[in-house]
A and B are shown apart, each in its own frame.
Chain A
Amino acid sequence: MKEKHPSELDLARLSDGENGDELADHVRWCSSCRRILADYDWLQGELAAALDAKSAAAPIADPDWEGVRSCLSNPERDASNRLLLVAAGASLIAFVMLAAPATVGRRVQAQTTPGGAVSEAPSPVLAPRVGAATEAALSLTMTPVDRERVVSLPFVPPPTPPEPTG
């Protein structure tokens, strides 16, 4: 039966002293996993040594207790920070108040619409000039029509019959 290799992350954990005996058993006879594990062992040692060397060579400034002490005894910085925070908060509120009315208005309109659905008023549409047939038909109606504001009709209405006389 072919045994499944552990994942690389499992091997990385094993190199850190984690994961169980089962994995250690596998590594004992599997040379490819043993090679990866050896890489991790080497890496950990080198990493610790590289970090130690780097920190030992770090250009550390001399301790400046006076600097710390003056910050501790000087609450001005804290006060000015608080002032800055308050100013930033106030300007944010002002911005929201200036920028929000349009959005808020729309929301109020939406809330007043029954049924929760948002209905928008139709925008005005400029009607095209009606054709001659429509004009003629309209001229026969008894209703006075404002010719300048004729609305477009989707059909041509039949002429209204004349009212019986006598």
Chain B
Amino acid sequence: MIANRDEGETLSQAIAGDEGSRKAIYHAYHGSASRLAYLMLRDAMDAEEVVQDAFVYAFRNLDRYDPKRGSFWTWLRVILVSRCRNKRRRKRLPRVSLEVLSGIGQAPADTEPSNDPAGALERWDRRREVYDALEEVSPGARDALILRYYEGMAYAEIAEVLGCSNDAARSRVTHGKSQLRHLLTGREEELVEERGIACTSEVG
């Protein structure tokens, strides 16, 4: 990202039409935008297309950006999330399991360095379960959860990005968490049952 003071200057130059400044802004936010789009769309090519489209829109409408209302990243994020949601609406996303992703080398990597391979594996499994469950949460709640727990956004910001009221944003996050909890505890109970049955059959 660009430091606040520099961002202001760079943006003023970009609004004036300076291509170098636009390029600097693009390079500064491309990574964050791509990662967010990927989390929302779960498809690298779709994410790339949406990110490019969002930047093109942002640069064409740069004069509409009001720094008083928030940072450039906040504004770009509104454009990006809106495009991600449109893309998802147009294209019904197939659910891809993490087993398939790990088969093609796209499974989430364990980013925490550790000397304990068993612990790392357990962590990876746990996160995979959480991520699997997140795919089953309703789309509106999932978007809100990503914005809240990945982007760390306040409810007012989530409301602005998703185009809903503060209460609705809060409600989406709460319901999303509740859905996740039920999905995960349900799986846990299934697992306990399976293990119980397996133990019983072993004993029998």
Binding site for B on A (CB under 8 A): 8-9, 12-13, 15-16, 18, 36, 39-40, 43-44, 46-61, 63-65, 67-69, 71-72
B158-204 interface with A by 8 A CB criterion = 170, 173-175, 177-178, 180-181, 184-185
Q: How far is the CB of A34 from chain B (nearest CB, A)?
A: 15
Contacts of B178 in A (CB 8 A): 8-9, 12
Find the A residue at minimum CB distance from B59.
Answer: A72
Residues of chain A within 8 A (CB-CB) of B27 are 63, 65
Secondary structure at the A interface, as helix, strand, loop or mixed, is helix
Question: Which of B4-12, B70-78, B85-93, B101-109 is near enough to bind chain A?
Answer: B101-109
Q: A residues within 8 A CB of B19?
A: 69
A sample of 19 cross-chain residue pairs with beta-carbon separation below 8 angstroms, ordered by A number, consists of: A9-B178, A40-B181, A43-B181, A47-B149, A50-B108, A52-B111, A57-B106, A58-B35, A58-B38, A59-B106, A60-B31, A61-B48, A63-B27, A68-B55, A69-B19, A69-B23, A71-B56, A72-B56, A72-B60
Cα A39 to Cα B183 in complex, Å, equals 12
A50:B127 contact, CB within 8 angstroms: yes
Count of inter-chain pairs, beta carbons less than 8 A: 113
Contacts of B22 in A (CB 8 A): 72
Q: Which residues of B contact A40 (CB under 8 A)?
A: 177, 181
> Given A55-B38, A65-B27, A69-B19, do A43 and B106 touch, yes or no (CB 8 Å)?
no
Contacts of B123 in A (CB 8 A): 49
Assess A47 versus B38: contact at CB under 8 Å? Given A56-B109, A65-B23, A65-B27. Answer: no
Query: Judging by beta carbons under 8 Å apart, are B175 and A56 in contact?
Result: no
B79 within 8 Å of A by Cβ?
no
Nearest 9 pairs between A and B by C-beta? A50-B127, A51-B150, A53-B108, A58-B38, A55-B35, A57-B109, A63-B30, A50-B130, A54-B108
Is the beta-carbon distance between A39 and B131 smaller than 8 angstroms? Answer: no
Q: Which residues of chain B come closer than 8 Å to A51, judged between CB atoms?
A: 39, 131, 146, 149-150
